[in-house]
Structure 1
């Protein structure tokens, strides 16, 4: 598959994209194709990388963030994000079984299950969730700031899913089979 936009190396990217590409390369030890595609727009690349950084420093644990990511990726049929976040979830301490369950929107942990249900409800209902959906998260032990962060994780993953699907970005992580079709 050929990407629908150029996958830029730092040397070929706009000058304003280079600092972010250098930081991304430093964080991953390589520059994943998704970021190389987004590098066509310095503003989009800076926004995406800052979004990852901000949520990485948030109150939602990395493992839960990755579980949310695979649930959203599977729902949106984004093979790239499913592969990337499955690998990152394993690095964050999730078992393969936990990541597979999260891909289906499920978890044996009640709090994680509540977060995944809410995340998928956001995706399926295009943000049109009910007061009861938010109350269910509070009942599962999430504070209001964490509830907002869960929504932010969904929003970031919608951004990355759309980039990868719309631009046919080649997967450069170990492949994971989608469970559902978008």
Structure 2
């Protein structure tokens, strides 16, 4: 489904108050202000929430490579080309995930049994609005997934759904090397 809704990105050079502070935080952290965060800046509350949740999950037990794979899987599931493109790029360039593993992540798979269990559980949670069977959790635990990781998986899923839905709704222009759905 396509949308005609579009959010005009906020120009960091003309932003004021809280919005300017948040965009400066993004620029300091990333060296740039991606179109997604510039569009989110139309709602400082949204941008603040995104940055807080993003920062919180970055300090967790799941590795950057695991988080990037989860983001790729969720973007594919939700049809968000912006996030699929961004996380494929970050996964390859920053987390150093090879192309085959990134392609597997799009299908919720990995050659690593632990990562495969995380991806499968994440997609199952997303597809069922959190209503998963005890067997789904037991299967993940048998693959070595801890309760801490399951909790973080839900936090990462919430972050990824937030950005997926926003980018699709807002029609954010993709400023990453495009990866088609």
* Corresponding residue of 1:41: 43
TM-score w.r.t. structure 1 length? 0.93
Q: CA deviation at 1:156?
A: 0.5
Q: Give the 3-state SS of the residue equivalent to 1:81 in structure 2.
A: helix
Q: Which residue of 2 aligns with 1:30?
A: 32
The one of 139, 158, 167 equivalent to 1:164 is 167
Structure 2 gaps, min length 5: none
Per-residue deviation, 1:26: 1.7
In the alignment, is the contact (CA less than 8 A) between 1:105 and 1:120 conserved in 2?
A: yes
Are the equivalent residues in 2 in contact too, given 1:14–1:39 (CA < 8 A)? no
Q: Whole-Å Cα distance in 1 between the matches of residues 101 and 30 of structure 2?
A: 23
Deviation at 1:12, TM superposition (A): 3.2
Determine the structure 1 residue equivalent to 2:179.
176
Q: CA deviation at 1:13?
A: 3.2
Contact 1:3/1:169, CA 8 A, preserved across alignment:
no
Q: Tell me the secondary structure at the aligned position of residue 40 of structure 1.
A: coil
Q: Provide TM-score, normalisation by structure 2.
A: 0.93
Q: Report if the CA contact (8 A) 1:2-1:169 is conserved.
A: no
Q: Which segments of structure 1 move beyond 4 Å, counting only runs of 4 or more?
A: none
RMSD between aligned residues:
1.5
Give me the whole-angstrom Cα distance separating, in 2, the residues matched to 1:62 and 1:103.
16
For structure 1, which runs of at least 5 residues remain unmatched after alignment?
Answer: none
- Per the TM alignment, residue 2 of structure 1 is displaced from its structure 2 partner at its CA by 8.3
